[in-house]
Each structure stands twice: as C-alpha cells, then as structure tokens.
Structure 1
C-alpha cells in the first residue's frame, strides 16, 4: 500500500487543474451513506457486517484513512459537501434551527443558523450540469424542500426530511418517485434500481449520479429476507447488530447490481466511483473503535468517515492515503475530474484531491481542517465516549493539523488537545502539558473564526439551572 502526503497554506484554496478532457467524459457515481460508521465496511475492518462489492471497488482504487465529514450530523455535513464550504459560510449548523436538549442544562443560547441551503449557492451539481452532464439525486436530500433547483435534473426520494419517508417499507406517502412503491419493496433496493434506470436512460451522455441512500439512518428497519442469516451468524467483537447488518448488506447488494450494469453497458472503465458517509455511526448500533465517539460528537468517531475513490486509468489500485481530507474537498475534486468549471464568485474551502489520486505532491500538505458547531445536540441513551452524559456536543470549534487536534468549548472556555498519532482514541488531553502547542492551535482556530465571521455564542441562557444540570450528570453517570 502506498502512503501519500500533501501541502497547502492557511486560507489559500488550491483548486488544482482540470483533468485533460478525453474523448468521452468520465461518468461519476457518488455513493453516499447516512450514519455509516468509519469501520462499518469490510475494507475498514468490520468483523460482522458484509460489504464484498464495496470492498472490491475500494481495492480497485484509493482508500483514505483520515477522511472527515464536514460536521458530526446530517444536515450541516451535507451542506458542506454540496457547497464546498465550511459551516460559517452556509450557516447550517444543526438538524433544524431549534435548541436541542433540556433548556436547564444549556449554559448559552444556541446559534440557530438556517435550515435551508441558500439557493443562490452553486453546488458541484450545477457545475457538472454546465459541463454537459445529466445529474440525478436519488435518496436523502435534507437541505430544502426540492433538490432540483440545486443542479439536479432528476430527483427520487429527496425532500427536506432527514429520515426515510415512513420507514424502509412502503407506503412512502408523497415522496417524489416513491408514491407507487410495491408494498414489500425495501427502500434501499428501490433506490438501487432507480440508479440503474437512470444510468440506462443517459445513453451516450455523461452522467453524475448522487446515490444518497437513507441507509443506515434510523429507524433500524431490517431487510426481512436477511434477518435469519445474521441471526445465525456469530457476533463479532466489534460489531454485532443484526438489523444494521441487513441494512448494510442491502446497500452492498445494490452496489453489486449497479456494477453489473456498468459492466454490461461497457461503462466501467469510464466511470469514477466515490464512496463515503455523512458523519460517524449511530452510537446505539455500531462502534468506531479505536476511535472515540459516534454521530453527533466532535471526537473522531463522530466526524471521521470511510472514503474511497476508484478512477480507472488514473488511480493506482490498492493504494492508501493517510492525509487528512474533508467532505468539502469533493466539490473541487469533482470539477477537476470532469473538466467542469469552478464557480467564479463563490468561495470554496475544499481543495482538489486529484493530485493525491494521481500519486503526486499537492499544496494541501499540512493544511488545517476546521469544524464549527455553535449549538447543542442532546445525548443518546448511550452516554459513554462523549465529554458529558447530557449532550453529544455542546457549542465548540475544532481544528486538526497534522497529528494535532484542538477542541475549543464556548461554555466554559475549556480546551482539549490530542495527538492523534499517539492517542487515536483521544483518551488524554494534552492541553495543560503542551501549552505552547495548545496556544498555537487556538490562535490558528480563532484567526479562522474571524476570517469566516463564525458566530461565537456568548449570551447566557436565562433558563440554565446549574444545580439541575449537576444532578442530571450525576444521575446519568450512575447508570
């Protein structure tokens, strides 16, 4: 396996040069899962879930070991992905704009932000449309009522909802393209078949397919035909969840059917396949160990995600990249891959990954990655692996650069510093023992906040009750 490193200066976005146009523009299949954890695929080390088709694609391309979502939960992560921007620019900070969790336990007033991606922003889908691509989004959208104005020619399943329409089995109500779904048809299967139909419909025209499965988001609704198989399978030490296993296999089986159609249509050698997830895995059902945390936390288990890119003729099969990358990087990457133009007047915070994919040096080496969450996200019933048992995330900002990661908390001004090379599980903060490194990274984070006009919550919540909070924390820790 080949390990690669890259470089970039702070606040300078190196977008890379478009790949030279070939006789046939490459197609793009972007498979994007929901709440799929860093270790939930075979190529990332699961010992219970089965993903042979994804594993084969990953082996034929490059796996990114240190890939990150733009946020620790759905909507802000997707906004960063589609816009190529960090959250202070698009201002989607959470799922919804209301305060989350018990008001008595929130020291600060949260920053609501917005819940709809600005329709004036140009997404990477807009840019690919401009380059002559037929575009489709199939599955979860979550950024507005209708994805079509955001650069897509086709929408099936996409609404403002972040959850499957009414579970994974019909009826799906008035969800676009799913109104007449057969009564026993599993939603993941339907989206895979719609992907196949879209590919077949494009003929000789280049296409870009955003296959954004609802799986494996709650409700944990098993594919019925697979239950008996996983009920009989011995549990793994890392993973054991039977319903989750059926949901993951349904995705992977669909990937296998799509790949078979690409082979049939002789499109495999001219189709780029990208696979990733919107945030960390769902804590009550999966495990990202040795990472700490899960969906909603800003520890590694909440923001680190699987990512691979298969690009025939460009990416050397069987390669691995350990350089930290983030979801916002995919916007300039997709443009460079397809020859699509970059927007003229819209700042992008991501960098093109094409040099990495080619095995070349890149100006992204040593660049910092950032997250900003000026809101609250209440706890699961699972309370370990987070900073306190009441919230998965309280208002905070995060920077990672090289091996170092700093988390700044706005309620109490606390800082956590971790060396991820030596302490991947973020078990011991070095903020007090490495004061110079802590201050360097804090200054860097604050400069970024100022440059992007990131809102810093500082207004006290009048409903906050420290005594009630202390009792609730003590009670939760006794469980």
Structure 2
C-alpha cells in the first residue's frame, strides 16, 4: 500500500587463472584508484581508535591518523542486505525495496501486529551501480567477498568476482569453504587472509599497468557469524581483561585478524607505489551485534535503528586529494560514497537515476556544509530479537518493528507504525537515546515528522497498514 499522506578498455578485465589477471590499455592516467573496504557487522565501538581498550586495531588506527575520520557516520540501514544495496546503488531503501535478508515476516506471527511490506532480495539489473559508472569511466572493477545482492556481482558491473554470491555469511572461515565462487585453499587457510591475498594480487596486477585505475570493492565476510578465529589470537584475547559487554575472545580475535589484513593492504599500496593516488575507504555495513559486543554509549546494535545499529566507523584516506589527520563531525552516510566516488573520478551523474547521497569532496577539502535536508531511514518490516536485554528494543520480541527515522542536526525522531507512536531524542545530550523528549519538544517532533512524511511520499515508500489477523495482543 502506498503512503499518500505521510578503462577505454579494449575488452573487459577477465580472470584467466585463479591468481592471474589481465589488464588492457587504460583510458586515463590521472584518475585515482578506489579501494572500498566494507566490514560485516563491525560496530562503532569495535575499533581501538574509538577508545576501546579491548580490541586492537593498530592498522585501522594508523589509517585514521593519516586520513579523514568521521565521528558521525551512518550506515544506510541497520542490517546487511539493505545497507549494501544502498551503498552499491546510491539509493535509499524505498527505491530498491531491499529491507532485510529473506522474508520480511521475521519472528512469530502472533507477535506481529501488522502485515509487513514484501521484501525484495535481489538488486535489479536496471539499477546503475557504482561499479557500472566507474567501469564506463575506464576503471577495472573487482568485488572480493560478500555480495549478498544476487548470485553474481559480475551482472552489476564488476569484471572480477571472488567469493561473492547471494550467501550472507560463510559456512566456514577456514578452508574448505564450501563456497562455489571461491576455490578452496590449503586446509585451515583463513578466509579473511585469503580474500586479502586475492585483493593484493589484483592490486599488484593493476599497479603493473601504472595508468590503469581500479575500483576494488572488498566486502569482507568477517566479522559476521559464525564466530571463528585463529587459535593463537583467541588465546591472546582470553587473557585480556574486558569490560562489560566487550570481552568476547573469539570476536576480539576476528577483529584483530581483520585489522592485520587491512595492514597488509596498506603495505601493498605502499610497495606498489600507488598509495598517494588511491582512495581507501574503511566502513561497516551496520552496527555490531549487541549481544556479542556492546556499542555503549550508543543504544542497541545490529538490526536496530537506535544509534548502536546504524552508527559506524568511517575513514577515508587519499593522500594526493584529501587532507591528513582531519576529523569531521558533520553527519554523513554510506549513501554518500556513490556521488563522492563519481566526483573524484570525474564521472558525470546519470540523470535517469536518483542518488540519495551527496558528494563529500567539498566537505573534506573546503569544509563546505553538506546540502542535505536530513538523514532518513525506512524499515517497514520486522526483525526478530536476539537477546531482549542487549537488544534494548521497545518490544522484547523484536530488534525492530515497522518504522521510519529522521535525523537532523542533534535531533532524531523515530516513528513506529504499529501504534503511531514517536520517540524524540537529542543525540548531543543523549547519545544513548534514553530520554524520550516528544512531549517536551512537541513542535520539534511535529516539524521532523512533517519532513519524514514528505520524504516518504517523495520516495513512494510503502508503509504497512494492514492488521495481522494472527496477532495476539500482549
């Protein structure tokens, strides 16, 4: 139901053998390479540059010190598939209708008051992706790791696919992987190491063709479940003193392995002599699982539209184009990657496709404020609970019930469709979203709700309104 009111390449880069790539004469020598590292389920507080004394991420910390660090970066959605669809398409969830993984009818029917909106699980080929636009500008494109938006990223503008399919998590982090898109390595090989080795081979091959720009999308499977790590690192973290909610030895070991591989990538760029003209972006698709790692002071975690589910670590480093050691407090989104990449690559926007993000280039280089009304999130479905205590949700049966969110400056408004209730928070004073100010500042809530309704209508968003006959009142 509709809401009414409210490179030039002579031929493609091909994978000729398991670790052999061919490159053709490039179109331009000046375009920067782009490396987008997307970690799966890494929380805002799961890196040491954010102040953690438990997790050790020295390479990511160095990236932050030498790049641009964003203190208020948001995932476009609170769980895997929709966030990735938003990043790759540059469009918010109502435009592609990917809201979750699999069915939108999550949890028990008797606990769902409304019939949720039908979920889409595949990003349509009609969508012009980041990869397709960069490819048209002379870039060689590769995806290595979790795809999750269809069977093969090569149907969406990527020349190379290593390890990507519709699967949302690995069957094993140790070879044999049982992944049709990834040949098994030696027994016991670690998946995060393997994907990094593939990425390094690709970077070295591209660097050998020094005028060949590349876009490497590296969506690690880690640190998504199943929680599996190297024994040596697990033992290390078992000996480390944790703090409340941040003391999971296997998870800590997975985070450090990921960081080690970020270090390998940065060293490869240095060794190849291409660090200066390579944009490296480090980000996570959504918040960490609160039951595994607390995101305090943010509330909740993955699957929630409280801050713990959508606030993310974000770093961008491009030595020849961006300042070093800069910290930005302005709110940004994963939706902004698409227009930012197009701007630095000199690619004209596609007038037939709406982009919901904005370029961050002038913000980074000239401190220009972003021309954005607000940040919007739409989740018209249900997502079942993991642990009611750590989920910190309104309903103990769900991490999220159907609703939408708008963030403007310090203010954040949640609207819930089951009961048409609202929650208003001042994020500056209350990052934990503990005090609902909707009755204290009703005019603020009204103005934000008006903006949200206008946006929902503008994007032709679907909102659930049909009562579920199987619902049993609690």
Given the two structures, how large is their TM-score scaled by the length of structure 1?
Answer: 0.90
Q: Distance between the aligned counterparts of 2:116 and 2:169, measured in 1?
A: 24
Cα 1:194/1:23, change in 2 over 3 Å: closer
Find the counterpart in structure 2 of residue 133 from structure 1: 139
Picking from 248, 254, 258, the partner of 2:261 is 254
- 1:173: Cα distance to partner? 2.1
Select between 397-406 and 224-233 the one with higher mean Cα deviation: 224-233
Find the counterpart in structure 1 of residue 44 from structure 2: 38
Question: What CA deviation, in whole Å up to 9, does each residue of 1:42-97 have, x standing for no partner?
Answer: 11121111111111011111111111011110001111111111111011011113
Q: Distance between the aligned counterparts of 1:400 and 1:22, measured in 2?
A: 39
Q: Please state if 1:168 is matched with 2:169.
A: no
Asked if structure 2 preserves the Cα contact closer than 8 Å seen for 1:85 and 1:350, the reply is: yes
Q: Please state if 1:56 is matched with 2:62.
A: yes
Q: How many residues align?
A: 444
Question: How do residues 325-404 of structure 1 correspond to structure 2 at under 5 angstroms?
Answer: 325-364=332-371, 367-384=373-390, 385-404=392-411
Q: Distance between the aligned counterparts of 2:217 and 2:348, measured in 1?
A: 19
Find the counterpart in structure 2 of residue 145 from structure 1: 151
CA RMSD after TM alignment: 1.4
Question: What CA deviation, in whole Å up to 9, does each residue of 1:170-208 have, x standing for no partner?
Answer: 2222431x2232111010010110110110121221111
- 1:258: Cα distance to partner? 1.5
Which structure 1 segments of 5+ residues have no match? 1-20, 471-479
Runs of 4+ in 1 over 4 A off after TM superposition: none
Q: Distance between the aligned counterparts of 2:243 and 2:196, measured in 1?
A: 28
Find the counterpart in structure 2 of residue 454 from structure 1: 461
Find the counterpart in structure 2 of residue 477 from structure 1: none
- 1:419: Cα distance to partner? 0.7
Find the counterpart in structure 2 of residue 183 from structure 1: 187
Q: Please state if 1:28 is matched with 2:34.
A: yes
Q: Distance between the aligned counterparts of 1:214 and 1:290, measured in 2?
A: 26
Cα 1:145/1:330, change in 2 over 3 Å: same
Q: Distance between the aligned counterparts of 1:145 and 1:43, measured in 2?
A: 36
Find the counterpart in structure 2 of residue 12 from structure 1: none
Which structure 2 segments of 5+ residues have no match? 1-26
Picking from 62, 74, 85, the partner of 2:80 is 74
Q: Please state if 1:87 is matched with 2:93.
A: yes
Given the two structures, how large is their TM-score scaled by the length of structure 2?
Answer: 0.91
Q: Please state if 1:323 is matched with 2:330.
A: yes
Q: Distance between the aligned counterparts of 2:54 and 2:186, measured in 1?
A: 30
Q: Distance between the aligned counterparts of 1:436 and 1:184, measured in 2?
A: 59
- 1:279: Cα distance to partner? 0.4
- 1:225: Cα distance to partner? 2.9
- 1:363: Cα distance to partner? 4.0
Find the counterpart in structure 1 of residue 290 from structure 2: 283
Asked if structure 1 preserves the Cα contact closer than 8 Å seen for 2:235 and 2:249, the reply is: no
Q: Distance between the aligned counterparts of 1:52 and 1:359, measured in 2?
A: 29
Asked if structure 2 preserves the Cα contact closer than 8 Å seen for 1:131 and 1:341, the reply is: no
Find the counterpart in structure 2 of residue 265 from structure 1: 272
Question: What CA deviation, in whole Å up to 9, does each residue of 1:421-460 have, x standing for no partner?
Answer: 1111100111111111111111111111111111110000
Q: Distance between the aligned counterparts of 1:235 and 1:436, measured in 2?
A: 43
Find the counterpart in structure 1 of residue 116 from structure 2: 110
- 1:360: Cα distance to partner? 2.8
- 1:39: Cα distance to partner? 1.1
Q: Distance between the aligned counterparts of 1:338 and 1:41, measured in 2?
A: 30
SS at match of 1:117: coil
Q: Distance between the aligned counterparts of 1:428 and 1:363, measured in 2?
A: 29
Q: Distance between the aligned counterparts of 1:339 and 1:51, measured in 2?
A: 33
Q: Distance between the aligned counterparts of 2:356 and 2:59, measured in 1?
A: 32
Asked if structure 1 preserves the Cα contact closer than 8 Å seen for 2:72 and 2:311, the reply is: yes
Q: Distance between the aligned counterparts of 1:154 and 1:113, measured in 2?
A: 28
Asked if structure 1 preserves the Cα contact closer than 8 Å seen for 2:163 and 2:179, the reply is: no
Q: Distance between the aligned counterparts of 2:44 and 2:338, measured in 1?
A: 21
Question: What CA deviation, in whole Å up to 9, does each residue of 1:250-275 have, x standing for no partner?
Answer: 11111111222211111111111100
Question: What CA deviation, in whole Å up to 9, does each residue of 1:202-238 have, x standing for no partner?
Answer: 1221111111000100011122231221122222456
- 1:304: Cα distance to partner? 0.7
Asked if structure 2 preserves the Cα contact closer than 8 Å seen for 1:383 and 1:390, the reply is: no
